[in-house]
Structure 1
Amino acid sequence: MPSPEHSPTPPGSSARRFLSLARGSYPEYRRIAEILRRETVGGALLLAATVVALAWANSPWSSGYFALRELRLGYAPWHLDLTLGAWAADGLLAIFFFVAGLELKREFVAGDLRRPATAIVPVVAACGGVAMPAILFALLNLGAGGAALRGWAVPTATDIAFALAVLAVISTHLPAALRTFLLTLAVVDDLLAIGIIAIFYTDGLDFAALGVAVVPLAAFAWLVQRRVRAWYLLVPLAVATWALVHASGIHPTVAGVLLGFAVPVRPQAGARSEEAPGLAERFEHRFRPLSAGVAVPVFAFFSAGVAVGGLDGLGSALADSVAVGIVVGLVLGKAIGVFGATWLVTKTRHADLDPDVAWIDVFGLALLGGVGFTVSLLVAELGFGAGSPHDEHATVAVLAGSLTAAVLAAVVLRARNRHYRRVDAAENVDQDGDGVPDAFTP
């Protein structure tokens, strides 16, 4: 098979073409496989936390759940007198976005996404997967007023942990190209979500606090650029940056991303072989289990608990145009946006679909992109206000839309399970005994 950088060009055309959804390098394949294993465990914990929250919030003991979520802790002068639910959304999710920042920087500096040949399709697909749900939501809420339209970004997110948990449940054997595509799609999706939160969901700025926040952020960046890993220096600076960004009016998860961007990706010049991994990779290995295993499940526990009120309450929630827009955006918008953008790219003069990948595979993955959760719930809280009617209806819609997208994706991908298993078996053949599967040998 020709490499992505040297894909064949049709006769009479001088345009350079790339393989979309092509297999990446073997080191990148192994790294992504390890990330997927960890995120799958995190996804299982996320599902468990969601079920517990929903069960408790709709039980005879629901008052205990809501009292726990509304328990206030913190320091008022710095705007840090927050409820436990707010601490989970503003504090713990900063860890999630710190890991996302590390992953984003690594992908675009040293990963396969540093090459336009491998970046073009997931980037365009992610943009389509953000634009189409937002458009459908806006169209369905044009007559509902400005308050409803604040939720336009709720159905635009893809939850990689939740999506991978779905894959684990259906036991699918996705080809390497699709696994890479799923992760890189989620990485670009996270980047777009970060920009949306920072630009559209910031109400008022305290420029003094924002200016002071630059000081600990710069100190953190100066230390990590010199490969300092002392937690007693870095953690206080990170916490100070987070607190000052929070006080400035910008959502503090943005501080997590900025801190992640500050960490160098490439190893220090002249490092010994045992020191080869860059600092970003070291931090990612250390903080990803904390993010996937603690931060995101705890956030889900405090955000997913909504009193549905039985079938009547569920019907009432889903009758809200906001809820309808979210469900349609997640189920149809994501599928149309991701699949349509991928199809359009391959119909240009710049990319071809890898011959090992069928369009039904891409469609199944596009459906899976509609499994939104973590960032969707966060945006709903930011847009509507925690505990407001629209926010509660949005929570129900995010759960319903994600479940529907997961079931539809499972139907498609389950049907491809036998094919994926055969592909995986072929890829793992190593006849020459060099330790690298023959599928990755030029």
Structure 2
Amino acid sequence: MTGTATARRIAALALPALVVLAAEPLYVLVDTAVVGHLGSVPLAAVALGGTVMTMAAWLGTVLAYGTTGRAARRYGAGDRAAAVAEGIQASWLALAAGLLITLLIEITALPLGRALSGGDPAVTAAVAEWLRVAALGAPGLLLAAAGNGWLRGVQDLRRPLYFVLGPNLLSAVLCPVLVYPVGLGLVGSAVANATAQTLSGVLFVGALIAERVSLRPRPKVIVQQLVLGRDLLARGLAFQASFLSATAVAARFGTAVVGAHQIAISLWFFTALVLDALAIAAQALVGAALGAGDGEYARQLARRIAVAGAVCGIAFAAVIGAGAGVVPGWFSDDPQVRAQAMIAWPWFAAMQPAAGVVFALDGVLIGAGDVRYLRNLTIVAAFGGFLPAIWTAYALDLGLGGIWAGLTLFVVIRLVALLLRLRSGRWAVTGAVR
């Protein structure tokens, strides 16, 4: 396959994945804007309750990534039925996890609301009310994640685009209608949310049924998927600990610092979202190449995807650098916040090329099933680099520059280790399963 053809194939997988990844955050913006006009208490309820549902979405991402790599290997080996079977077992796992999440939230909605709201009775009641309805969408949310995983594995990104975008557009229309003309208020937002997630899950289940393969659960495969998910979860927890600590340290330097940090980190997550689309393409293509027994082509793909990540990172760095004097003003009128944002800005821009390569190679190794290495690397980079750096920044009063130096160190440690892993070739294990 020529380099041009490969680049076209990467783009053909990455661009639909980007739309799917962006659909949920864009819907959240619409939901927030609609509920915001109800008053500060409903808005707070959506913001706080949304953090709980974000954890369910995070579990879905872990499930999707694990399923993509396993399904892609089997698809590359020429066994589409086995690739679909990975989706079936992942869907059983998703359904069980989704029902468990729904049950737990229904039982704990009030104490969760109390803990999140700091004891404010009005906000506590509103959070609990919203959560009890929104939680009904958890099974659909996780079923959609499993469906995304296996369809990406067989390199079909057209149906996930429809199955995610369609329900989210429907929900964006339903939300204002249910909240205002129908008069459901805050509950209308939760109903629209749960409806979209359930419909999306049903569409992905329909795609499985249409494959005409056995739908029975296979405990052995589910256990294998759980082991893979365990490593991805551990990796994700290291990320969560790092970024929560960074925000906690920023808060200790004052409101202007934490406000500036929030601006920069929100934009960093946005760039990560775009680069995640490239990582998803890497998962599907590398997994399929290794499943087909073509380790050399997988290594070529990995190098090209790493270059694509670097190019995207350089482009982001240029845009971020050019917007230094403008972009922070979009988020805050406070001159102190803008001044603090300018301290983080050089670090934010400078790390982008390295981050582009890191995200791309994360996708390569997930597609290759080399998840244990990723888990260990992330834990070492977080607890041996990022966390010591940001708490040292606090101890030495280095401010926001120290925090973002720590984040840059986190990225650089991962970059070096991933490039060494790429060069070693030990990740490129061929065969339908790793």
**Which structure is richer in relative contact order (CA contacts within 8 A, separation 6 or more)?**
1
Alignment TM-score > 0.5, same fold: no
TM-score, normalised by the number of residues in structure 2: 0.30
The alignment's TM-score, normalised by the length of structure 1, stands at 0.30
Q: Is the helix fraction higher in 1 or 2?
A: 2
